[in-house]
Amino acid sequence: MNWIQVLLIASVLALLVFLLRSRRRAKSKAWVKVGYVLFVMAGIYAILRPNDTTVVAHWVGVDRGTDLMLYALIIAFAFTTLSAYMRFKDIELKYARLARAVALQSAQVPEQR
């Protein structure tokens, strides 16, 4: 086993522990956690037998396993960016509502003339 493989597997496992320990609403996130585990298992397999990704790549008409990984990464990155953007917009709206509540509580009425 190469040193790089040890390093990659260690960081993937660390990521798994970190993600599974994050305490969000348990039920709704259950499928996401199953996804993490599957992702980590596939990751470790690909690290140990890198040539097998090339076999999968050939199935879908891509020359090298590395290229397939890159394409998957680009798609995943685009989805992550979009979902972060949506989340950000949601939080912005909550922030606006909070600021509005504060503003309405401290409204000033002009002196009657």
Partner 1 sequence: MCISISDTRYHDVWIVVPAFNEASVIGDVISDVRSVFDHVVCVDDGSRDDTGDVALRAGAHSVRHPVNLGQGAAIQTGVEYARAQPGAAIFATFDADGQHQVKDVVRMIDRLSSEDADLVVGTRFADPGVVSRTPLLKRLVLRSAAALSPRSRQLGLTDAHNGLRVFNKTVADGLNITMSGMSHASEFITLAYENHWRVTEEPVEILYTDYSMSKGQPLLNGVNIIFDGLLRGRLSR
Question: Which spans of this chain sit near partner 1 (rule: CB under 8 A)?
Answer: 86, 89-90, 92-93, 95-96, 99-100, 102-104, 106-110, 113
Beta carbon nearer to partner 1, 2 or 28:
28
Handedness of CA 93, 99, 103, 104 (dihedral sign): positive
CA separation for the pair 28, 6 (Å, rounded): 33
C-beta of 21: minimal distance to partner 1 in Å?
27
C-beta of 98: minimal distance to partner 1 in Å?
9
CA separation for the pair 42, 5 (Å, rounded): 14
